[in-house]
Amino acid sequence: MPVEDGQNSRTSAPWLASYPADVDWRRTFEVAPLYDLLDGAVAHAPDRPCTVFLGRILTYREVGDLVDRAAAGLQALGVGKGTKVGLFLPNSPTFIVYYYAVLKAGGTVVNYNPLYSIEELAFQVRDSETRILVTLDLKLLFEKVEALLLDGVLERAIVAPFAGLLPAAKSVLFRLFKSKELARPLRSPVRDRILLEHELVAGAGTLTPVVIDPVEAIAVIQYTGGTTGTPKGAMLTHANCLINTRQVMAWAPDLKDGEERVLGVLPFFHVFAMTVVMNFGIAKAAEMVIMPRFNLDEAMALINDTKPTIMPGVPTLFNAIAHHPMASSLDLTSLKFCLSGGAPLLLEVKQNFERVTGCKLIEGYGLSEASPVVTCNPLEGPVKAGSIGLPLPATNISLRDLSDPTVEVKSGERGEICIKGPQVMKGYWKRPEETAAQFVGGYLRTGDVGRIDEDGFFHIVDRIKDLIICNGYNVYPRRIEEALSEHPAVEEVIVIGIPDPERGEAPKAFVKVKRDMSVTADELSAHLAPKLARMEQPAAYEFRDALPKTMVGKLSKKELVAEEAAKRAGR
């Protein structure tokens, strides 16, 4: 049946039968500027540790003061309503300070991946109209920013000292023994367009409060490939980001303000960590233990040493922990739960992690265009294996026909997941046509194929763009990946479609085998024979020592798709 305004889904809400008793799906959320999260934490828990970074602790009072001083400096530099300021930073207190400082000055944050090439950076700077980039004086970062300044792509840069983030003794040692890793911005040929952090805050004056409309003002431009692979900026308003944080808080009512400790291993520039680690952590006045870059051995040690109560991560992180030699001896008793997002959580990974560590692993689902969290499994009680859970409060989900998204599918059928809620983006930056195509009847089209079961839990079947068409039939790579991951020798797997003379397209599996184990293609085929239809069987296997991953650590298909295309072009 055609659905124009979503009334059918709102009135039926089949997920309510399984909804947690202490969570109200029908609740509403007040809007406010996003920086109210920080102001509230500073007011109520000023002496509580806010960040723990390589041994140095900053309290909420100290972070709040740094934010206000930086915001005043940004205003003196001309940052105001609508000014785009980019954060080209690893996880660090500097990221948090300038994120909130930009918002308080009235500007818009543009998140940048520190591993981007200069070409990727230049595209995003131009497209977003970023005027200023904030970075650290680490060579790996500064040299890219300097190149953008030299090419005239970027107007100005603010450079903060990395050593200044460290405890006093470590700071001295870093400058003595790691000086080769530091840039020399004072000697830069574009020094006139570089502002050192101490110059920014010196004599900046008093912060002038800016009146904004949280529903309309864009807090963050978050770049994403969306469903097309073309980079575009999702415009997330203050209300989008603040309410999504409040929705996550509402889903975990037993967590205590001022008593939690969140492990920040995911990069803050990624929308998942931005909301579920940084904004959520600050809203709860939590202590955030921050890793500047992910290293598995260091993360394991940090978990043991700091005893976090919450650990958000991606499936590859939890899979790596479960297969680490220290896993069985790791003390995870402090953790109330681990939250998996950013990519599908295979059932085998969830079960193995929970078996090895004894810690509950909860799967959620979201996307950049929704700030990002849309659904989550209940934190208490039974969890549906392989499910992405139930919609967050005030979030509505409609499954739409894959060939006609104006039509809602019948119960039990597969359809495109479409969502409506206060966390859904305002649209794509400077792309009105793509924005219009991304919505249907007021619902955001996700590009994900899903189904809802008899208890109201949602399940991801696959990405629409990842579908493999074999002899006219839809073959879902995730189904094959899940079946292969059940083999005891398989650690990671990616399945993509390749041209096939008989079937049109056929699956190909790329497999990483567990350490000290072995398996052949024939053995994997035999393993799959009773599990999958013949058309779902991979036509080819390729064994790799490592599979490509994104900066966040989730398995990435695009590199393998490009490799296969290059092979065909070379023939």
Q: Which residue has the tokens 């800016």?
A: 210
- The answer for residues whose C-beta is within 8 angstroms of residue 335's C-beta and 6 or more apart is 308, 309, 310, 311, 359
Burial-class residue 518 by CB neighbours within 10 Å (0-12, 13-18, 19+): exposed
* Residue 282 burial (CB count, 10 A): 26
Contact 426, 369 (CB under 8 A): no
Distances (CA, A) of 221 to 5, 88, 240, 449: 27, 13, 12, 26
- The answer for residues whose C-beta is within 8 angstroms of residue 565's C-beta and 6 or more apart is none
What per-residue confidence (pLDDT) applies to 244? 98
DSSP conformation letters of 15-39 = GGGG--TT--TT-------TTHHHH
Contact 365, 478 (CB under 8 A): no
What per-residue confidence (pLDDT) applies to 534? 82
pLDDT, average across residues 245-271: 96
What per-residue confidence (pLDDT) applies to 168? 87
Q: Which amino acid is at 338?
A: C
Contact 428, 235 (CB under 8 A): yes
Please state the φ and ψ torsions of residue 118, each to the nearest 5 degrees: -60, -40
pLDDT category, 469, cuts 50, 70, 90?
confident
DSSP conformation letters of 257-282 = TTT-EEEE-S-TTSHHHIIIIIIHHH
In the chain, % helix, strand, coil (3-state, to 5) comes to 35, 25, 40
CA dihedral 121, 122, 127, 129 (to 10 degrees): 100
Q: What is the largest CA-CA distance in the chain?
A: 72
d(CA 224, CA 32): 25
pTM (two decimals): 0.86
Q: What is the DSSP letter of 539?
A: S
d(CA 467, CA 475): 6
What per-residue confidence (pLDDT) applies to 7? 37
CATH number 3.30.300.30 given to 467-570: yes
Please state the φ and ψ torsions of residue 133, each to the nearest 5 degrees: -115, 135
What per-residue confidence (pLDDT) applies to 465? 79
Query: What tokens were used for 243?
Result: 């309410």
Q: Do domains 58-201 and 467-570 have the same CATH topology?
A: no
- The answer for residues whose C-beta is within 8 angstroms of residue 221's C-beta and 6 or more apart is 84, 108, 109, 110, 111, 128, 233, 234, 235, 236, 429
Question: Mind spelling out the 3-state secondary structure of 222-257?
Answer: EEECCCCCCCEEEEEEHHHHHHHHHHHHHHCCCCCC
Helical axes 477-485 vs 521-528, angle rounded to 10°: 110
Contact 516, 507 (CB under 8 A): no
What per-residue confidence (pLDDT) applies to 558? 86
d(CA 270, CA 87): 11
pLDDT category, 346, cuts 50, 70, 90?
confident
pLDDT category, 571, cuts 50, 70, 90?
low
d(CA 477, CA 419): 23
- Residue range 58-201, CATH number: 3.40.50.980
| 475-495: pLDDT as tens digits | 888 889 989 999 999 999 999
- The answer for residues whose C-beta is within 8 angstroms of residue 361's C-beta and 6 or more apart is 318, 337, 338, 340, 345, 350, 353, 354
SS3 371: coil
| 5-54: pLDDT as tens digits | 333 443 479 999 999 999 999 999 999 999 999 999 999 999 999 999 99
What per-residue confidence (pLDDT) applies to 9? 42
| 349-365: pLDDT as tens digits | 898 999 988 899 999 99
For residue 304, the surrounding DSSP H or E stretch is helix 296-306
Query: What tokens were used for 425?
Result: 């983006």
d(CA 16, CA 390): 9
Q: Which residue has the tokens 């709102």?
A: 10
**Domain definitions of the chain by residue range:** 7-30+242-463, 58-201, 467-570
What per-residue confidence (pLDDT) applies to 5? 39
Please state the φ and ψ torsions of residue 397, each to the nearest 5 degrees: -125, 135
What mean pLDDT value characterizes the chain?
Answer: 91
What per-residue confidence (pLDDT) applies to 203? 75
d(CA 207, CA 213): 19
On the CB side of 100, how many CA atoms lie within 13 Å of its CA? Answer: 28
- Residue range 7-30+242-463, CATH number: 3.40.50.12780
**CA torsion through residues 87, 374, 338, 511, sign:** negative
d(CA 6, CA 420): 8
Query: What tokens were used for 465?
Result: 């763009």
d(CA 178, CA 125): 30
